[in-house]
Structure 1
């Protein structure tokens, strides 16, 4: 007879972590789950819950690689396997006392209905506490990615692949973008220093600050006054790659939740800026962000529409297309992508990008610029997409990005995730010449 988990109120914290991870394995996005789950958990346990969920996802395939050889035969049981990963993550990657990690995880396997298999969980976790260094070494050596993704990265980045795999297991830093309409970066760093908050200036972004300690965003100085936004350092480079947008007609395509929209309005005064996205809920955050940042909205149009078919009533001077992509460059921030993304998704995404490019290109003025952006590290979505586009459009010409950052590609530049710095981003600038 199949046994079902008890209601979450009766489950211990590890069992609740396992339940959340099972939902991710069934295809649910962590962003959608976390907010609801954290509200169900006592405040004192929330930080630990968050750490165990994200940490286990970050090491998921590495934990899988070290677990499989320990089993006499495959378990064919997602729940017990997930208990093992959560238990091993605690023993190998946290300072949680081993006895607590083991007993709580074994209890979780029982609470989730698998009494008979709890002995396997107990035995493997005890072995990991006896052979911790060896286990940690194997964990470190594992590339930690689904095999399809590892093969693609090895093909695309043969020289960088080992470092890239290690980088994708790390946590990404919290980075702020200073709203220079209201305060300069140095002045803001001084305010943080006055409150004993450790932070330093970004190296690539002239308006970025990296936080060196855990902070509550809303409690930072100037949050309500709109002095800063949270945005990845490599994403902040977007606004440095567009031409002068003052008094021009600008489209921010696939704009939600509005980080780039806000940055463009902080830096320029366009005649009109259209923020376009097909997700109405996420578009609400665009207007919320613009309000908090106290940015003018009289020249901003927020439109819910499909970028593959949307038509403008007047030709545009500049298009920023932050194209839908595999999001493989932001796995550090969204470790559930390891489980959610499938190899078959990539061809569909590439086709969608192509459709959007074809539609929007027709609506750009001659002499206008299209900035193509993704948060992917797969060449098929980036360099190859641009090779194909430029081959098919005789009226398109690349404007080379002269920069010291990233890796120059046949077209555009690729940034890879870097320790203490930004995520994986690709940029390519194209001008319409006829």
Structure 2
């Protein structure tokens, strides 16, 4: 199949609010010739990254929107516009291959329409984009609800956040200190011809100058390196575990923070990971097996809002990696801008508070809980902690003394950084000891 048609079939369900890039693209890659897989990913991710600008352009040129059954043509038009606007693909190739893709979609009747629109864009792009320049959705390439909410949450940062969201995130690695030091890892990467630098905030982090296939990373297969954003690597240090601790990682998939915790601590009494979705729980097992850590952790497929899975033994440390809007990782998952809706945030906040409240009862007096999300909205972050503290008289907020992120009344907020870490939030809560232990 024409690669543009294959990309349109990946994106069309997203335009219908069905699935995501991570659910539809892998199957398409299996059916794509190996030499064209990089192009397919480029077309899908590039188009989704620029989606809201492209949608505004499409609306300008279309007399009427495509019917629901023809959203594959809408996706194909967006792919064509992206190629002409933002890619290095020669214009004649972008035009010819995009128009030809209508035949592979069994909709050859639309070829003339797409050809006319794309050629008009070539001729009129300067005037049209100047006309759209004052449209905030076109200017900032995000849905209006997102822009408005961000302006309200972060009046001093919203423009930088929106700009960072439209960049490609760097590839960041985590060094397994059980096997080698960060300096040794940097040396091995250099010997392999891969330029890299140490992360500024995570003592175990390395950022590559250019992304690389994990198969090319020296030591990856042996578990010496893992792919993990720098912001996510901060969780293990905040837990501050001690030998003999019993630790819970709730909502643990895909297991990056869990594996980091185990890599750093060889004398923990017991580590339990809980994940609701069976498919995501399998990803935890895969990561544990690659790193040889499968015997050091118990993985339970269970609901963190219940106690059905709990054996009654309290935990010294709990990590609540709460399900969230994922608005801090849009650079890695640009379809979040399309798939997430404003009303989702309040619903997620209810789930987050429910998980936090439920798991608090599993923490020992004197124990520590770390609350984390990859969201940039305070409604899912510091406001959750504020609400929780009002409900729990034995909970104490502990400020985080760090040089990363921005200190908030509760916790610290990290914003996505160009060529740096993702957006993330952390808060540390300590459980007041019993009077008998005080």
Distance 1:177 1:144 in 2: 32
Q: Rate the CA distance shift 1:94–1:394 in 2: closer, same or farther, 3 A.
A: same
- Structure 2 residue aligned with 1:147: 144
Alignment counterpart, residue 105 of structure 1, candidates 81, 90, 98: 98
- Offset at residue 253 of structure 1 (A): 0.4
- Offset at residue 299 of structure 1 (A): 4.2
Pair 1:283-2:276 in alignment: no
Distance 1:66 1:225 in 2: 48
Whether contact under 8 Å (1:312, 1:363) holds in the other structure is no
- Offset at residue 115 of structure 1 (A): 4.0
Distance 1:106 1:420 in 2: 35
* Paired residues, number: 423
- Structure 1 residue aligned with 2:36: 45
Q: CA offsets, 1:292-333, max 9 Å, x none?
A: 2233x4442111110000334211111000001011111111
Distance 1:342 1:167 in 2: 20
Q: What SS class does the counterpart of residue 142 from structure 1 fall into?
A: helix
Distance 1:169 1:244 in 2: 37
TM-score (norm 2): 0.92
Whether contact under 8 Å (2:195, 2:210) holds in the other structure is yes
Listed as ranges, the gaps of 5+ residues in structure 1 are: 1-10
Listed as ranges, the gaps of 5+ residues in structure 2 are: 434-438
Pair 1:206-2:197 in alignment: no
1:40-79 equivalences in 2 (<5 Å): 40-76=31-67, 78-79=71-72
- Offset at residue 279 of structure 1 (A): 1.8
- Structure 2 residue aligned with 1:195: 192
- Offset at residue 133 of structure 1 (A): 5.5
Coordinate RMSD, CA, aligned: 1.9
Whether contact under 8 Å (1:65, 1:142) holds in the other structure is no
1:227-266 equivalences in 2 (<5 Å): 227-266=224-263
Whether contact under 8 Å (1:199, 1:212) holds in the other structure is yes
- Offset at residue 196 of structure 1 (A): 1.3
Whether contact under 8 Å (2:247, 2:270) holds in the other structure is yes
- Offset at residue 264 of structure 1 (A): 0.6
1:3-152 equivalences in 2 (<5 Å): 11-26=1-16, 27-76=18-67, 78-131=71-124, 142-152=139-149
- Structure 1 residue aligned with 2:436: none
- Offset at residue 69 of structure 1 (A): 2.5
Whether contact under 8 Å (1:250, 1:316) holds in the other structure is yes
Q: Rate the CA distance shift 1:321–1:141 in 2: closer, same or farther, 3 A.
A: same
Q: Rate the CA distance shift 1:195–1:432 in 2: closer, same or farther, 3 A.
A: same
Mean alpha-carbon deviation: is it higher for 327-336 or for 424-433? 327-336
Distance 1:201 1:253 in 2: 29
Whether contact under 8 Å (2:241, 2:317) holds in the other structure is no
Mean alpha-carbon deviation: is it higher for 100-109 or for 54-63? 100-109
- Offset at residue 169 of structure 1 (A): 1.0
Q: Rate the CA distance shift 1:47–1:136 in 2: closer, same or farther, 3 A.
A: farther
Q: CA offsets, 1:360-401, max 9 Å, x none?
A: 001111111110000111111001111111111111111100
Mean alpha-carbon deviation: is it higher for 93-102 or for 153-162? 153-162
- Structure 1 residue aligned with 2:292: 294
- Structure 2 residue aligned with 1:215: 212
- Structure 1 residue aligned with 2:343: 344
- Offset at residue 240 of structure 1 (A): 1.5
Q: What SS class does the counterpart of residue 241 from structure 1 fall into?
A: helix
- Structure 1 residue aligned with 2:367: 368
